[in-house]
Amino acid sequence: MRHYRTVFYIILATVEFFVLIIGICLKWQLVTLQQREQIQKRRSTLVSSRSLIEGEPGSVGGGGGGGSARRSFQV
């Protein structure tokens, strides 16, 4: 009877270990995704602010004038 209890605890510990590993992997993916979104947001803000500073009206809006660059900068 004692042997079955030991096997049960070993199996339980193994399952908990795999659940822990899966949780760590999911958290890592979430953090990586959030960092990518922040970097992409910074790049888009940097590009739109550069076009406003340099005075290139068609660089962001595709020839739509300075108003489209300003709108994208405010959002």
Per-residue confidence (pLDDT) for residue 75, from 0 to 100: 46
CA angle (59, 61, 65) in 5-degree steps: 85
Does this model's pTM top 0.75? no
| pLDDT reading at 14 higher than 70 | yes
Per-residue confidence (pLDDT) for residue 50, from 0 to 100: 65
Q: pLDDT by residue (tens digit) across 21-64?
A: 999 999 999 999 999 988 888 877 777 666 666 665 554 555 55
Query: What gap in Å lies between CA 56 and CA 62, rounded to an integer?
Result: 11
What are the structure tokens assigned to 35, written together?
Answer: 């960092």
Judge contact between 67 and 61, C-beta under 8 A: yes
Average pLDDT over residues 6-15: 96
